[in-house]
Amino acid sequence: METKQFKAESKRLLDMMINSIYTHREIFLRELISNASDAIDKIYYKALTDDTLTFDKENYYIKVEADKDKRHLKIIDTGIGMTKDELENNLGTIAKSGSLAFKTENELKDGFDIIGQFGVGFYSAFMVADVVTVISKALGSDEAYKWESKGAEGYTISPCEKDSVGTEIILKIKENTEDENYDEYLEEYRLKAIIKKYSDFIRYPIKMDVTKSRLKEGSDNEYEEYKEEETINSMVPIWRKNKNELKDEDYNNFYAEKRYGFDKPLKHIHISVDGAVRYNAILYIPEKTPFDYYTADYEKGLELYSSGVLIMNKCADLLPDYFSFVKGMVDSEDLSLNISRELLQHDRQLKLIAKNINKKIKSELQSMLKNERDKYEKFYQSFGRQLKFGVYNDFGAHKEELQDLLMFYSSKEKKLVTLEEYVSRMPEDQKYIYYATGETNERIEKLPQTELLSDKGYEILYFTDDIDEFAIKMLMSYKDKEFRSAASGDLGIEADEDQAEIESEQKENKELFDYMKTILDGKVKDVRVSKRLKSHPVCLTTDGAVSIEMEKVLNAMPNSQNIKADKILEINVHHDVFHSLKEAFAKDKEKLSLYTNLLFNQALLIEGLPIEDPVEFTNNICKVMV
């Protein structure tokens, strides 16, 4: 019998498969099952238009059989089959699968992710088999043919016997090597697991004769094994089911089964779209932050299926970073099984799906915020930070999209509020959206800078997250209201005392303030009369773009540049301490220096900033006491 050569391109791929060092060999089964399913589909579609043909569901299935003694693994289908020519053309050539054409020789040698991510079809059988035999009888044909290949040398085709229409693929599984265990592909439990993992949602039953045991007849303690045919796959994927048929529990089970997370999802989103692009998706918003979520190890992405066949575990292109917490899957008939990662990225269908999903997630979050506030707050505790990063990242490109999902703790409500809520209840005379930063809400509550604002009855948003102020700087304003820090030099408030009085106080005490500035040499930019202090003697505020909180964050970064905020020491001229300052200035400069340093350090402490020399600070306190 003549041995025919593979076409050049096919030979190259075949070589890759045979010599593959790839670890996910198990996907060969996914490929062969998906081909079998395609072959049954072809009959199904033909029957739709061909009156002489009927499609009885019971007659169509895929069967997987393992024979350990012969080392045979068979994949049998009742699909459309192949004629002699088709065997020759379909299995002898593979150039049509576009993915390969776009890869360079080196990429192929190095990466091999082409197999893992997309599979390369029929030839993947050679990853686990020395010999591949295909016996097929095409629909409407009386003859059957056998195609056989041991790999690179080529293949043979010869007539053979086969009763029914369809295809039988026989793999002669390789012997184990030192590094590789091939026996597992003959083990019932492994085969079942692989089928479950990759092909659970194939529309047709995938059957196996499964070993069971039962009591021997007439015995009450002796067991015997027997085989029983079982359907391994669940066939109807949950995402193709009608939403009305499904309960929360079903979605929760799917979440657990898929190991999307170990918590219970807060919310599921079931999408079925049948428009310009057709797809089904089940998405989840987890309740708890995965332990690695805010680390570089976390990988975002959704599972991607093409007509029920898993083609990618984590398709990152489907989710924007700010929704990276979303888990779940997408199945589309419009994506090809053999599409490469590069092509996928540019795939128009995939882009449409991603856009669609993004919109859907956003609207679900919005409605959760509106209708299920408690749930939303739980969500926000876990992932709010990511949304704030989303506002900040990409130079604020997504800020408009995300601003209404943000929440901050409010001085008035003592709970999380949205910007919309804040702005809607702003008094007429209030110009800005005020915020104060600090480590905890309790600490911010006690900040002297907020005294005037609280006095005026203005609501203050508490920023306790590193990212908060950065995000808000990117946002700049909400509904035309600018954000303003409670610690900023200008609060935009007509203070209770009139401006003239403050200015005259400032003028009157100019020498004192200048002197204090020299005492604090370089530590503050200015010493000023405070408009905002009511009961506290001093506080720190800032001029310019960098706030004290930002200084803390920036300097905590690994390669910090020692960035300094322009600090202003504000003095409450109505406080008794101020009179002591004045007196010391007139009579005892050394005392003034002592007081000034003490007050400055106090202000630092209140701000949650470290004081330079704690020992000196405590000594100074003692000096005052003695």
Confirm or reject binding of residue 199 to Mg ion (CB under 5 A): no
Give the nearest residue (CB) to ligand ADP. 121
Confirm or reject binding of residue 337 to ligand ADP (CB under 6 A): yes
Confirm or reject binding of residue 82 to ligand ADP (CB under 6 A): yes
* Residue 123 near residue 10, CB atoms below 8 Å: yes
CA angle 242, 278, 280 (to 5 degrees): 40
Cβ closest to Mg ion, residue 35 vs residue 418: 35
Shortest gap between Cβ of 337 and Mg ion (angstroms)? 6
Shortest gap between Cβ of 116 and ligand ADP (angstroms)? 16
Cβ closest to ligand ADP, residue 100 vs residue 491: 100
Q: Which of residues 114-133 bind Mg ion (CB under 5 A)?
A: 121
Neighbour tally for 454: CB within 10 Å: 19
Confirm or reject binding of residue 121 to ligand ADP (CB under 6 A): yes
Shortest gap between Cβ of 152 and ligand ADP (angstroms)? 17
Confirm or reject binding of residue 308 to Mg ion (CB under 5 A): no
Cβ closest to ligand ADP, residue 132 vs residue 419: 132
Q: Which of residues 10-49 bind Mg ion (CB under 5 A)?
A: 35
Cβ closest to ligand ADP, residue 39 vs residue 516: 39
Give the SS3 label for residue 187.
coil
Distance between CA atoms of 486 and 368, rounded to whole angstroms?
A: 31
Shortest gap between Cβ of 265 and ligand ADP (angstroms)? 34
Shortest gap between Cβ of 84 and ligand ADP (angstroms)? 13
Neighbour tally for 182: CB within 10 Å: 18
CA atoms within 13 A of residue 233's CA, in its CB half-sphere:
27
Tokens of 607: 């701000």
Of positions 149, 167, 199, 324, contacts ligand ADP by CB under 6 A:
167
Phi and psi at residue 618, in whole multiples of 5°? -70, -40
Shortest gap between Cβ of 208 and ligand ADP (angstroms)? 17
Q: Judging by beta carbons within 10 Å of its beta carbon (0-12, 13-18, 19+), is residue 469 exposed, middle or buried?
A: buried
Q: Which does 390 bind (CB under 5 to 8 A by kind): ligand ADP, Mg ion, none?
A: none
Give the H/E segment covering residue 189. Answer: helix 188-199
Reduced 3-state DSSP string for 328-351: EEEEECCCCCCCCHHHHHCCHHHH
DSSP 128: T
Cβ closest to ligand ADP, residue 43 vs residue 387: 43
- Which is nearest to 320 in space by CA: 245, 419, 405, 381? 405
Of positions 90, 149, 403, 485, contacts ligand ADP by CB under 6 A:
90
* Residue 39 near residue 166, CB atoms below 8 Å: yes
Q: Which of residues 15-44 bind ligand ADP (CB under 6 A)?
A: 31, 35-36, 38-39
Distance between CA atoms of 438 and 409, rounded to whole angstroms?
A: 12
Place of tokens 């300052």: 581
Confirm or reject binding of residue 77 to ligand ADP (CB under 6 A): yes
Shortest gap between Cβ of 424 and ligand ADP (angstroms)? 56
Confirm or reject binding of residue 97 to ligand ADP (CB under 6 A): yes
Q: Which residues contact 445 (CB under 8 A, 6 or more apart)?
A: 411, 462
Give the nearest residue (CB) to Mg ion. 121
Confirm or reject binding of residue 128 to ligand ADP (CB under 6 A): no
Give the SS3 label for residue 318.
helix
**Interface contacts to ligand ADP, rule CB under 6 A:** 31, 35-36, 38-39, 77, 79-80, 82, 90-91, 94, 97, 121-122, 167, 337-338
